[in-house]
Amino acid sequence: MINVTVENAEGERQTLEVPTDIGLNLMEVLKAYEYDIMATCGGMGLCATCHIEVLQGAENLNPCNDNELDTLDTLPDADENSRLACQIRPAENMNGLSLRLRALQEA
Ligand code: FES
């Protein structure tokens, strides 16, 4: 179990307890906490509705694969801190990760 701090579109922050041993990706965890992420591609890294900005802890994340980079490239507001939550597998070394939800603001 790790702690992940999430800032929503309104700037409200909440620290979530995120399991690392049940095979959920970060998008699925956020949905389980009832964040309103459409995830229309089902976690394939294609729809970008799970776009997040990593505020802290980016160095501990698994690197972007080509598919994720291609999708992020299509977003006008993506920057070097952007990731797709569905492509992140929570792991013990990610404790303290902090992120901001991005896709909701454009929806
Ligand atoms: S859920 Fe579609 S890109 Fe992550």
pLDDT at 107: 42
Distance 83 CA to ligand 1 centre (A): 10
Residue of 29, 35, 50 to test ligand 1 pocket, by largest number of atoms within 8 Å of CB: 50
Distance 43 CA to ligand 1 centre (A): 4
Q: Which residues line ligand 1 (CB under 6 A)?
A: 27, 39, 41, 43, 45-50, 84, 86
Query: What's the topology of domain 2-106?
Result: Ubiquitin-like (UB roll) (3.10.20)
DSSP character string of 38-100:
--TTSSSS-S-TTEEEEEE-GGGSPPPPHHHHHHHHT-TT--TTEEEGGG----GGGTTEEEE
> pLDDT by residue for the chain (107 residues), tens digit each?
999 999 998 899 999 999 999 999 999 999 999 999 999 999 999 999 999 999 999 999 999 999 999 999 999 999 999 999 999 999 999 999 999 999 754 44
pLDDT at 104: 53
Strands 2-7 and 13-18: antiparallel
